[in-house]
Amino acid sequence: MQAQVDERRRPPERIPAGVWVLGGVSLLMDVSSEMIHALLPLFMVTALGAGALTVGVVEGLAESTALVVKVFSGVLSDALGRRKALAVAGYALGAATKPLFAVAPSSAVVLAARLLDRVGKGVRGAPRDALVADLTPPAVRGAAFGLRQSLDTVGAFLGPLAATGLMLLWAGDFRRVFWVAVIPGALSVLLLA
């Protein structure tokens, strides 16, 4: 009976600061990625002269690449146990691709950038999620995962919003918006490192 009373008096466990950092990293990278991804099909068609088939192939290959790499990154994360290093490598690869979109002279360069970006996404996902689990007490693990995903979703919302606003401000200058997208991507890597 006394144990139950003591249990009720104990303050609830808090989500560790490291989980907030991982959420902030996800938010920044999603802002960066979605600023580009929201405009990419229109950029490929209007600025690079690509057709709808090309846009579909680029997007399909990119997303399937991320899904395949996720399988192997989870195994690699468990085998090496170097979760933070893998997460940093994945975020760094994603951030490194952002300038390629701004300078892309052709759809082939966009395809290469998208594939590398999605490899980064695939590499970072499993180790990042394992870090959240490693850092968080079991009593608040669900809340920690929810927080990280919520911040990621906020980034996915803010990215296209920022891209649209900048496109209106800069009269449709895709490349200039893509250069701005480099900033939150780089900040996400610095924050995690």
Contact 117, 178 (CB under 8 A): no
Rounded to the nearest integer, the mean pLDDT of the chain is: 93
pLDDT digits (tens, 9 = 90+) for 57-83: 999 999 999 999 998 998 998 898 899
Contacts of 165 (CB under 8 A, 6+ apart): none
pLDDT digits (tens, 9 = 90+) for 151-165: 999 999 999 999 999
The pLDDT assigned to 13 comes to 83
Distance between CA atoms of residues 143 and 13, nearest Å = 11
**CATH number assigned to the domain with residue range 17-192, chosen from the 4 options 3.90.1480.20, 1.20.1250.20, 3.40.50.150, 3.40.50.620:** 1.20.1250.20
Kindly list the domain boundaries of the chain, sorted by start residue: 17-192
Report residue 119's pLDDT band, with 50, 70 and 90 as the boundaries.
Answer: very high
- The mean per-residue pLDDT over the stretch 136-141 comes to 94
